[in-house]
Structure 1
Amino acid sequence: MVHEVVKRVEELGPELAALAEENESLGKLSDKTASLMRQIGVMRLLQPSDFGGYQAHPRDFAEAVMGIAKHDPAAGWVSGVVGVHPWELAQMDRRLQQEIWGEDPDVWVASPYMPNGIADPIGDDNFVLSGRWPFSSGADHCQWDFLGAMKGNGSGAPIMPPEVMHVVLPRPDYQIIEGSWEVVGLSGTGSKDVVVDKATIPAYRTVLQSDIAGGVAAARAGRHDTVYKLSFGVMFPLGITSAVIGICEGALATHLQIQKDRVAVTGVQVRDDPYALYAAGQAASEIAASRTQLIDGISRLYDIVESGGEPTTEDKSNQRRNQVRCAWRAVQAVDAIFARSGGGAIRKSSPMQRYWRDAHVGLQHMIHGDGVAYHSNALHMMDLETPPGMLVML
């Protein structure tokens, strides 16, 4: 059954597509785009039902993100990044959930998670935080921000061994730096830097990354639904890779529309060129395989948990390997058709070049780093010991 949010994506998709060029020009999502995304409800798919969310299957989340990205890569990217945050917030203190969603279930929370600051304890139940974080996607339309930080020792230095915290700050406690998002692709995501200067954070607005990764936080928060039992290493990459695959689907659709009536410089209509058609058919298969493999992988892990089981490290390693490969396979397919799209595709007026740039920038995200994912998975397959550093995203 198709989720109602996915249905709304297709209904409102043409309106999203019409705004894509404006978003790129603005360097952030337009207010109209953000309004359409709220109307669609994509950010509430993983939000708990007691705070106005759908508490949906992650497959539905992935399909909605792909659908949005197909029409507007920037909107899809923001959906995939910001849309996973309600999943983590559901596992945190309910006082925080009430603060964020108590009056408006459509409040969005940005990130990034990289530990660029030190959360130093002050008193019994507070931390103080300063630092600067890049890549806060969708920040202009969010009222809170998830930030990664090292847990401090009370003297401004991280404790040893280090512990990574995720802390949540309201908009008045951080500054969005204008002009910090000048990039070659995904410009419309508005993934600007945010700066924090000695903000005081109540302990209930924090969580250890290890508690989220290990499922401790969900149990502590009384969240026993299957979706909240899945690991951070499974859920965090899902939205980002879904966005990349959706971008590639949009690139394919755009390519086919252009080629249908294009006449090459040789005077041959592309529809009569068997080599161009071969490339398009092959690319379509590769992109479809990426979609199928990503959804199949998250569904398999969900089913294991739903039936009372616990995914093994190998299960999660296989999913991580496949998730990375999905993104690379889809982008490589776009490269193949872009190379056969003709000179018109490089013009700034062509959406084809924007899809191509956005797909490659999406591949730059750290969760698409293929080296460690493939290396560690090969060790698992050979029953060899995996270094602890290679288990971080599992």
Structure 2
Amino acid sequence: MNTVLKSEIGQDIPSEQELIERARAMGPWLRSRAAEVEAARCVPADIIEKFREAGFLRVLQPRRWGGYEMNPSVFFKVLMEVGRGCCSSAWNLMILGVHPWEFSLFDPRAGDDVWGQDDSVIVASSYAPVGACRKVEGGYVISGRWPTSSGTDHAEWAILGAMVPGEEGQPPVDRIALLVPRSAYTIIDDWQVCGLAGTGSKSLQVRETFVPDHHTHSLADYSMSDRGDMYLFPFTQVFNGSVSAVIVGMAQGAIDLFIEQMGTRRNSGNGKLTSTSPYVKDRLGNAISMVRSSRARLLMMQIETTPIVERRELVPLASRVANALDIARVGRECEQAVQSLFKALAARGLYLENPVQRIVRDVMAAANHITQNADDSAGILGGFVMGEQLPPLSYTR
């Protein structure tokens, strides 16, 4: 007999396979909406509602607040499917859907404040530590302008990043996340970009706002607590890994379209099917391999670390440093795969009516995300295994 899991509020929890199938079935519909999403520079509310109805925004949410409390690998697989349809919509799902996991790091009162009346409330973010932050009694006071808050039009709260300054002349003592309500910030529509234009990643303006301690947590600290097993993974493994997972989906979407288009086109010079060209087949085969390798690394990371957290242990530092590079290389390799296919499309790939050109631009933008910085990640890993110190506030406080 099958056991039906339920959240703490009694809601049935779908299986991993059911969630993946829902995501896969949504692909063609999302593909048909992609041009509209880009033109609007914001994911329409009905698409976000479809994600909500499918349960995608609950995958990482703790059961205490009505979520499914699943392994992040499930969320990764959902993103890999949704990304094949519409890059910007999938990016919004990634950003808005990963934040519920982060509430395991906050004081539980923060989750109660957000979801106490409605456990479907959406939270946006901007982690760049660009605003001013100072410690005061009972919390912090922040102000400034935080950029690139993806999907922020759909959110009622936002998580902002900041550095906690040290004594005068001393370096920062911590890197923190601060949870603020919609009333604390103004949305600035400055998202005029060449890629991922539909994500609506606008700036948030905050003016001298007090944030209580229970609405903050350290982004640098990684230590044991009584949080659930699925929340013992490092923050960067879950958040950065989610970014990479959606990029895998985007690149797979380009592969899907390339196969469809090349399967019927003929060479204008000799009349043969383009698909018979050894160069076309070579590019396709190598693109498939790069995307499959990226997918495999992300899922293997979860396979290797899940038994560790299930034993109520922390992921070892050496694994965390190596995993950071595995995650970061996804953007580079998926971008290379998509660019390689785009070159084989020749002039036909340039037309705005060809959705591949949009995916090229979207993957290029996604690969520029800070989580995809493979250069620094490689240098950090190489230096670490040779005995060098890790950068401050990156792997430990």
What is the TM-score of this pair, normalised by structure 2? 0.90
User: Tell me, which stretches of 5 or more residues in structure 2 are unaligned?
Assistant: 1-14
* Residue 335 of structure 1, aligned match among 326, 332, 339: 339
Distance (whole Å) between structure 1 residues aligned to residue 295 and residue 392 of structure 2: 25
Q: Match of 2:268, as an amino acid?
A: V
What is the TM-score of this pair, normalised by structure 1? 0.91
Matched, 1:146 2:156: no
TM-fit CA distance, 1:159 = 7.4
Distance (whole Å) between structure 1 residues aligned to residue 392 and residue 216 of structure 2: 25
TM-fit CA distance, 1:196 = 0.3
Q: Which residue of 2 aligns with 1:355?
A: 359
SS in 2 for 1:339: helix
Distance (whole Å) between structure 2 residues aligned to residue 252 and residue 161 of structure 1: 44
Q: Which residue of 1 aligns with 2:12?
A: none
Q: Which residue of 2 aligns with 1:56?
A: 70
Q: Which residue of 2 aligns with 1:281?
A: 285
Decide whether aligned partners of structure 1 residues 299 and 158 sit closer, same or farther in structure 2, where only a CA change above 3 A counts. Answer: farther
Distance (whole Å) between structure 1 residues aligned to residue 375 and residue 27 of structure 2: 35
For residues 76-225 of structure 1, the aligned pairs below 5 Å read: 76-122=90-136, 124-151=137-164, 160-178=171-189, 180-211=190-221, 214-216=222-224, 219=225, 222-223=226-227, 225=228
SS in 1 for 2:161: strand
TM-fit CA distance, 1:55 = 0.5
TM-fit CA distance, 1:34 = 1.1
Q: Which residue of 2 aligns with 1:13?
A: 27
Calculate percent identity across the aligned residue pairs. Answer: 28
Q: Match of 1:27, as an amino acid?
A: R
1:114-162 CA-partner distances (Å, limit 9, x unpaired): 112233344x3243221001110110111110001233589xx897543
Q: Match of 2:245, as an amino acid?
A: S
Q: How many residues align?
A: 381
Q: Match of 1:148, as an amino acid?
A: G
TM-fit CA distance, 1:347 = 0.7
User: Tell me, which stretches of 5 or more residues in structure 1 are unaligned?
Assistant: none
Which range moves more in the overlay, 5-14 or 131-140?
A: 5-14
Distance (whole Å) between structure 1 residues aligned to residue 378 and residue 126 of structure 2: 25
SS in 1 for 2:259: helix
* Residue 233 of structure 1, aligned match among 212, 236, 239: 236
Q: Match of 1:392, as an amino acid?
A: S
For residues 364-383 of structure 1, the aligned pairs below 5 Å read: 364-381=368-385
Contact 2:123 2:155 in 1 (8 A): yes
Decide whether aligned partners of structure 1 residues 250 and 310 sit closer, same or farther in structure 2, where only a CA change above 3 A counts. Answer: same
Distance (whole Å) between structure 2 residues aligned to residue 163 and residue 56 of structure 1: 29
Contact 1:118 1:129 in 2 (8 A): yes
RMSD, aligned α-carbons: 2.1
Contact 2:290 2:334 in 1 (8 A): yes
Distance (whole Å) between structure 2 residues aligned to residue 248 and residue 69 of structure 1: 8
Distance (whole Å) between structure 2 residues aligned to residue 96 and residue 308 of structure 1: 24
TM-fit CA distance, 1:308 = 4.3
Distance (whole Å) between structure 2 residues aligned to residue 342 and residue 207 of structure 1: 49
1:243-287 CA-partner distances (Å, limit 9, x unpaired): 111100001001111111112321322122222122212211221
For residues 301-340 of structure 1, the aligned pairs below 5 Å read: 301-340=305-344
Which range moves more in the overlay, 366-375 or 187-196?
A: 366-375
Q: Match of 1:99, as an amino acid?
A: D
Contact 1:283 1:334 in 2 (8 A): yes
TM-fit CA distance, 1:354 = 0.5
Q: Which residue of 2 aligns with 1:254?
A: 257
1:18-50 CA-partner distances (Å, limit 9, x unpaired): 211111001110112111111222221111011
Contact 2:131 2:162 in 1 (8 A): yes
Matched, 1:34 2:48: yes
Matched, 1:265 2:240: no
Q: Match of 1:241, as an amino acid?
A: S
SS in 2 for 1:164: strand
